[in-house]
Structure 1
Amino acid sequence: MIELSRLSLCMIVKNEEDCIGRCLDSVKDVVDEIIIVDTGSTDRTIEICNSYGADVLQFSWNENFSDARNYGIERATGDWILWLDADEEVDKAERYKLRDSLYQDDYDLLFIHLVNYYGNEVDPDKVINVEHSRLFRREKGFRFVNKIHETINANEILKTKEELERIGRIPLKVYHYGYLNRAVDEKKKYERNITMLKKELDEDNHSPWIHYHIGSEYYRINEFEIAFEHVNKSIVEFILAGYTPPSMLYKLKYSILISLGSFEGAWPGIEKAVALYPDYVDLQFYKGVILYYKDMVQEALKVFDHCIELGEENLKYLILRGLGSFQAWYYKGLCLEKMGEIEEAIHAYQESLSQCDTLDAAREALNKLLDKEVR
């Protein structure tokens, strides 16, 4: 007889009446208990959570997201913990995969596919994809660390080769709406995050990630010079601590330099980043953009072809939708047009638009070439 495993949903919330129902609706039929840690809601959040049969716990906010999450985990009774944010939603067509995953005895920690929307509205072509650890066995001692941008302490629990092999993945998408422009503005996330991050930066032995997260906040509001300063400090701190800087740092660094139009400053440094992470399509794409604007067009064309070959399925990296598909085809078109290969350029623009019909730059470039062809 198969022993039934129980699944606990653990969340922390504050004033989430606009989205908490959507989140709970997406998992109510597949979890065995709902543990909600409320850090001071003054709207209908608690009332809505109660309507789903949640166990709502009060937690006095101490400016530490990990403490709040761990408070909920300590009171959960399930064999497995699923953690979500209120501004997230599990794909309803895939949610039963959560139940299937409970009986995979080979794993202690499971990753899902996190789909992060950005921009003014939900658009499947404006997303950042990455795999994210969201399910873990309660009895293994997993806990959250870091006051902000909290993460699971997987490195402390899974150390040996055998233990690391107990990390798995399930084909389940979770949609995150919290960084759409409206949500960021309403929640005043920039002000909250930057204040907390700077406080943590003042602490002794702060994580090298703190400068990265500060840089990300400044990047989001187009303060590129300040963002660049912080991402470089993060890279240095990782190196001094004896670690290879994570791929996300180089993605942010070269995105900043491209935003600043500093193509000379980005070359040839991008080569070293690509050598560290050769299968990271975003870094390859940035290399292609840098080469294109340095008028190294033939070299850039080869890079964009490689981006298309790599695609966007390698979710161990933070992947910006389009860089291994329609954006790479658009830049391929630019390269071909510059080389005088007009028919091939037209095909590239058409391919780009077939994958994303809202890419105005590709449409304008295509129409311009077609108008010339008619004349």
Structure 2
Amino acid sequence: MTGAGMKNGHFSGRIVSLDGLRGLAAMLVAVYHLPVIFGFTITHAYLAVDFFFILSGWVMAHSYEKRICLGMPFRDFLYNRFARLYPLYAVALLAALAVTLMKSRIGTGSANIACFVPNALMLPCLQDDGPTFPLNGPSWSIFVEVTINLIWFFAIRMGMHTLRWKLAVHLCSALLLWGFAVWMNRYLAGYESDDVHEGLLRGLLGFAGGLLLFHCRMHALILAYFAALALGVFAVFYAVGDTADVIPLGLFVMGVLPTTVWLAARQRPAILEGRAAAFLGDCSYAIYLLHVPLAMMLQKPLRLMFPGTGISAYMMKAAIFTAILLFVSSMSYRLLEVPARRWLLQRLKRDLRPVTGSIQ
């Protein structure tokens, strides 16, 4: 029996369940980055980025793989990705730059604008020390996603889209990532100038996993493959001595996250198929890119309105900030992301229909 959104055993249209999960993951990242507003942090919420990479692989396979195999020009693919990702990316970067300059001018912060040009080109700013995207930190994962997307296009053109290739790429990326993790006795990062390669490895592993999950979307046996990899990570770290407590992260990244994506897309639970999930899906990209610039603007006013470190003060700050973030993100989706995407595709004189689904 096929679930909602499936025709003849194949998925079609928007998968609201995955949209909603991406929105929830984006909110987790916001909480992780802003303990000064929320009053607490979720220690390993940064693993939501690995979840984004898996979702990206699934959605790109769903939206583009067949079209690329049938001869979709690289220019069309590039235009679609640019129109989808760049408008909000640019607005968020400019907003962060404006706030940074303003704070620097009034003496409440230091301006770090040397990285603006490479960051505006979606490129990391490689310094001796420090983040690669200092104005808007979460942007590092967008660079990783774009890089992996471009490599993937040409890989498909070279015929690397069969199940055999997908298994090989995913297994090799898993061995590389966890080999580095064992060597360094920690999970990989990716947002600092000296660990860009780590972010690319995380992106490759997640994206390859998403491609594989979509290819095997009708076969639950794929979950056994991911379970075996998770147990392999457990065994290796247990054998060498897991002094950094990486084992739970390995089980989560290699087991829980892929299983969640496959089950959510396959089962389409009612709780993840409603308007709230669709709303979060629409807002997810803006939540992810705007929470840092928005916090830069609102942190001091909220602190003045609700001073102290009591529970009630943090609850008020968190509630007001979340409401503003969701409102701004919703307006961004309706008034910026969708119109800008349509306008850019028309401006570039390509008769391209925008790809459905907001989790792209």
Q: Report if TM-score (shorter chain) is over 0.5.
A: no
Which has the larger Rg? Answer: 1
**What's the TM-score once normalised by structure 2's chain length?**
0.29
More helix by share: 2
**What's the TM-score once normalised by structure 1's chain length?**
0.29
More strand by share: 1
